[in-house]
Amino acid sequence: MGKKIYIAHTGGTIGMKRTPDGYMPSPGYLAEQMALMPELKRDLMPSFDIREYDPLIDSSNMSPENWLKIARDIAENYDRYDGFVVLHGTDTMAYTASALPFMLRGLDKPVILTGGQIPLCEIRNDSRENLITAMLIAANYNIPEVCLFFGNRLLRGNRSVKVDANSFEAFDSPNLPPLGVTGIGIDINWDLVLPRPKIRTDDISVHMMNESRVAALRLFPGISEEVVKNILAPPIRGLVLGTYGVGNGPGDNPKLMAALKTASDRGVVIVNCTQCLRGRVRMGAYAAGTALGRAGVISGFDMTTEAALAKMFYLFSQNLPADEIREKMQQSLRGELTPPQASVAH
């Protein structure tokens, strides 16, 4: 029997229609465009079913409730398909790709997020290649991960970030090499692919993502302690702190450090993630980073902001104590960070 995949069309540019007011989502239009693609009728292509979400979601409106809907959709159809493709808008695709790995427990089949910068309806577009290749990978490569395919590269979902609003190579995986690259062939770096889950493959389950009071704050020169204090005020429970370089902050500002310490002592989990696109947090390298550690801030190592936020949503949804959440935030649960003792060659 041939391979069969499930396509969840959540929305995004890939399936939009040109109108006098610009590109807009149009119910049924993606299926119409795909029906016009002769490539999809070739013997080498998998058969597929499309579920179009109603309403289609502009990715700028994506929320944890939508993540849960996507995860449940995959779980409910899990036994009937060899792989899954999630069509998604590019603006928040990295957030969804970071959240789904934490939500899909026992995933043993590929889930590939993709989309396009130019919709399928245009003569010149990137959506066609992204869609066809994502379908082929989902059907034929037994990768037990949530991935993001875009611009000829297959990235681990919770390592991906959007880096370019105009290029066809819109996404990057700054601190982990691609899981695969495509050219004449499709080459998978199997040494980087996560191991298969230890539980039975038919035991996939979905972890809830409850609404959690988490936030992200990017440090900047001159930031006041009042701004930090207000963001950390109740009911906040977790904060991803975007710091300088290898995890440094204004350590000579005692009032700001005190605001961080007061919140941390109250149980707020504050995770240090560098503002740099590449590299990892090393809080002990400079006194400015050590000061953050004394204030109760923990290292996010080489996690992206998207992954750190999604991980916080996931952990806080389990109603764990703050100390346990701090411990798990510094562990690799789904390949989202490189442990301090490990290194990945680029």
Residues forming the annotated binding site?
Answer: 59, 90-91
Active-site residue among 10, 19, 90, 262?
A: 90
Q: Which residues are annotated as a binding site for substrate?
A: 59, 90-91
Q: What is the 3-state secondary structure (H, E, C) of 234-263?
A: CCCCEEEEEEECCCECCCCCHHHHHHHHHH
- Cα–Cα distance measured from residue 13 to residue 160, given in angstroms and rounded to the nearest whole number: 19
Question: In angstroms, what is the C-alpha Rg of the chain?
Answer: 21
Strand 171-172 and strand 238-243: pairing? Answer: unpaired
Q: Return d(Cα 210, Cα 17) in angstroms, integer.
A: 34
Amino acid letter for position 174:
P
Give the residue among 331, 342, 324, 283 at the shortest CA–CA distance from 307: 331
Active-site entry in 10, 13, 96, 133:
13
State which amino acid sits at residue 275: Q
For 280-324, the DSSP string reads ---TTSSHHHHHHHHTT-EE-TT--HHHHHHHHHHHHTTT--HHH
- Alpha-carbon dihedral sign for residues 319, 324, 327, 328: negative
At 163, is the secondary structure helix, strand, or coil? Answer: coil
CA 87/CA 271 separation, integer angstroms: 31
Task: Tell me how crowded residue 343 is: count the other CB atoms within 10 A of its CB.
Answer: 9
304 is catalytic: no
Residue 133: active-site member: no
Return the active site residues.
Answer: 13, 90
